[in-house]
Structure formats: C-alpha cells, structure tokens
Amino acid sequence: MTNKHIYINGLGNVSPQKTTDSGHFLQEPFFFETNQLKCIDPGFKQYIPSDLFRRMGRIIKMGITAAKICLQDAKQCNPDGTFLSPDAIVTGTGLGCIEDTEKFLTNMIRNKEEFLTPTSFIQSTHNTVAGQIALLLKCHGHNFTFVHRGFSFESALLDAITQINMEEFSNALVGGTDELTQNSFAITSRLGHWKRKPINTQDLLLDRQRGSIAGEGASFVFLENTKNSGTYAELKGVLMVLNPSSTCELSEKVKAFLELHNLSERNVDLLLLGLNGDSMKDRVYHELVEKCFQNTSLGFFKHLCGEYQTVSSFALWLASMIMKTQNIPTPVRLNHVPEKIRHILIYNHYQAINHSFILISHP
C-alpha cells in the first residue's frame, strides 16, 4: 500500500464563534464571562428540513449544519442546490446525543418506566448524527461513528485516511460533534473538570482556579485524494498516544511520527496546543514544548470553543484556515509569528489520558 496525498478541500464549523462565515476568520472573536461556551445558532433552519426541525436534538442540528456547510464549501453541490453524496461519512463524538439520552433517562426515572415515547431513545444512539446526514444526502457509503473520548475525532480521521489510502473511496466527510447540556455540565463539575466561578474567557490561561471551561461544537472536513483551487491543506497524518508514562515517551513518539512524514520538530512552523487553563492538565503541554519545540511558534484555541472530547475538530478547522490564509489570528497567538507556514501540528490531550497529534502541510 502506498500512501496517497489527502487534501482538506472543505470546512464546516458550528462553534461558539462566528466560524460558519469563512470570510470572517476570527476577526472579532467573542469572549464571555462564563465557565461554559455554547454554539451560536448559525441559522439551523436554513439547513434542516422544517418537518424534521422541531423534534430533532440540538447536536443533530449542529452536525447536519456543519456537514452541509462543509459540502458547500467543498463545492459538492448540484446546480439545483442539492448535495453530491460523499463516498463516506465518518464521525466522532465523546458523549453523543446526550440531550436526548438525558431526556429519555429522566422521563424513565420520573415516570417509573411508564408512558415512555421512543423519539428521544431513537435519537439517543451515538450514530444518529452520521445516520441523519446520510439520510439527508442519500449517502449509501461507509458510515462509521467513533466514541472514544479524546480519540473520537482522531479515530474518524484515521479511518478515512486508511480507506482513501486503500482506494476504497476517493473522498470522505469527516466530523467531530459534541453538545453541552446543563445536566452534563453539572455532573462533570463534580469531577472538578470546570472552573467554579465564571471567568472572562479571554483570560483562560491566566485564571488560577482548577478546571477549564466547558464547550461544544460540530466541525467537519471534506477530505479528497485530489487537490483543487479551494484546497486548504494536505492532511498528513494522525497520531494517538494512550496514557504515556512520561514526556519522554510522548516526545519520542512525536519525533517518530514527524520522521514518518520526513519532517523533524524544526520543520513545524506552528504548534497549536490544547491548553485549557487547568494548570495541572496544561503542564504536559509546556513540558513537551520545552523538550521539542522551544523555538516553534505556538498557538491555542480553547478560550474560543471550550473543552470537549472532539475539540480537535475545531483545532483542525483553525489549522486549515491558518494554512490557507497564512494568517494566525491575534487571539490564537502565544508567541512569535512565523514568516511562512508550511507545516502545522495540533497537539491536544483529553484528561491527560488521550493524547493526539494531527499534522497538516501546505498543499
């Protein structure tokens, strides 16, 4: 098997920022006084058939909207406005359709298992987003959903990369979706995941409280084995490291991963870090930078979208936009800005257990 070139040819991102308008690349970022960030409604009604709209869970709306924006961006539309069906749909989600899950669970407990209707149960399965997108696009191709915490979106990317390399298909719609609900926020607050008091999200890295700010989002990329005038970047590869025993182990794996793509640490022009404002969890980012990327330009993003399991899909949107525009938006910058951006590495970890790296290059 030879590795093919795989290009990111379309983006669709529903997030707490104005990310659905590609002409507006974080020029006026939103900052809030909060410890949880929710997505902006980019006009879901435009993207979802009205007969389905009312009963559909929010994460499904977010996912369909991001997927359709991504296909439009990739020019996968017919003259009549209908969409071309992708060869495959692959999604990742940490908790899936948690709002519908909670709805069914709450009704079941409250009504002591009586008078239950199936709608929220039907929509509670994790593959609902991928299934609904396929249904709307009439896509009979490969359809997978990965549900592994901080590896969910990464696994989806790897699955698509593998199959494009095997020539099982030539393109794929790949996304990460997670929604935040009041109950899931309250429950995970018990584990100390979130800052107790609201902060100005702009000051995420300055705040001394334990925990981060919760977030959510739905972000899709359209991958293809050919490049065109709209190409954002070449997707080189994904690395996942489970529970590394030390920063040494991590740095060795990153070096080997870069070497596999004929690169070294010095070739990384921008490293996007998943810093989330929890000093305990952020330590490992600083250690890796200290070890391998001392002179590299650095960026961060969780003050824009919050922390969630598939947040790397937001990061990949950001990296792709930076690559295409060759501009690092001011709020993302942590230090100096490189002259030219040829290679961007995203490093994110979820709860210091699931560490992942995504590498993209100038097409």
Partner 1 sequence: MSQRIFITGTGIISCLGNNLQENLASLLSTKSGLGKIHYIKTILKDELLVGEVPFDLDGLFDLAHINPSDAYSRNALLGIIAAKEAYDHARVLENPGIETGLISATTVGGMDRCDLYYHDFLTNDSRNSYIDVYDCADSTEKIASILKIKGFITTISTACSSAANALMLGARMIQTGHLDRVIAGGCEALTKFHLNGFNALKILDKSPCKPFDRHRAGINLGEGAAYLVLESESALKKTGNQPICELAGWGNACEAFHQTASSPDGIGALLAMKKALDLCGMKPESIDYINAHGTGTDNNDLSEGRAIETLFGSSIPKISSTKPFTGHTTSAAGSIEAILSILCIQQRVIWPNLNFEVPINELHFSPVKTLINNANLNVVMSNSFGFGGNDTSLIFKKTSNI
Q: Which residues bind partner 1 (CB under 8 A)?
A: 1, 89, 94-96, 104-106, 108-109, 112-114, 116-118, 121-128, 130-132, 134-135, 137-149, 151-152, 155, 159, 162-163, 165-166, 183, 186-188, 190-191, 240, 242-243, 353
The CB-of-244 to partner 1 minimum distance in angstroms stands at 9
Characterize the bridge pairing of strands 297-300 and 343-350.
Answer: unpaired
Rg (CA), the chain: 20
Would you state the structure tokens that stand for residue 157, as one six-digit string? 């990317």
Sign of CA dihedral 276, 282, 288, 290: positive
Distance of closest approach, residue 356 Cβ to partner 1, in angstroms: 11
Q: Are 322 and 270 in contact (CB under 8 A)?
A: yes
Which C-beta is closer to partner 1: that of 303 or that of 355? 355
Q: Considering beta carbons, is residue 2 or 229 the nearer one to partner 1?
A: 2
Torsion of CA 162, 163, 166, 170, to 10 degrees: -130
Closer by beta carbon to partner 1, 112 or else 197: 112
Instruction: Count CA atoms closer than 13 A to 42's CA, side-chain side.
Output: 26
> What is the closest distance, in whole angstroms, from the C-beta atom of residue 234 to partner 1 in the complex?
19
Cβ-based nearer residue to partner 1, 245 or 294: 245
Residues 355, 244 contacting (CB under 8 angstroms): yes
Among candidate residues 236, 318, 237, 243, the one with its CA nearest the CA of residue 274? 318
Minimum CB distance to partner 1 smaller for 141 or for 299? 141
Output the smallest distance, CB 110 to partner 1, in A: 10
CA distance 230 to 324: 9
For residue 252, give both structure tokens: 């060795």
Measured from the CB atom, the residue of 122 and 337 that comes closer to partner 1 is 122
Residue 23 class from Cβ within 10 Å (0-12 exposed, 13-18 middle, 19+ buried)? exposed
Residue 361 belongs to what H/E stretch? strand 354-361
- Least distance between partner 1 and beta carbon 263 (Å): 19
Q: How far is the CB of 134 from partner 1 (least distance, A)?
A: 4
User: 227 CB contacts (<8 Å, ≥6 apart)?
Assistant: 5, 7, 9, 234, 363
* Angle at which helices 247-260 and 279-292 cross, to 10°: 50
Cβ closer to partner 1: 136 or 289? 136
Least distance to partner 1, CB of residue 108, Å: 5
> In angstroms, how far is CA 290 from the centroid of its own chain?
26
**Closest C-alpha to 266, from 317, 214, 338:** 338
Nearer to partner 1, 311 or 321 (CB): 311
Minimal distance, residue 198 CB to partner 1, in Å: 21
- What is the nearest approach in angstroms of partner 1 to the Cβ of residue 120? 9
Q: How many CA atoms does the CB half-sphere of 31 hold within 13 Å?
A: 12
CB-wise, 280 or 353, nearer to partner 1? 353
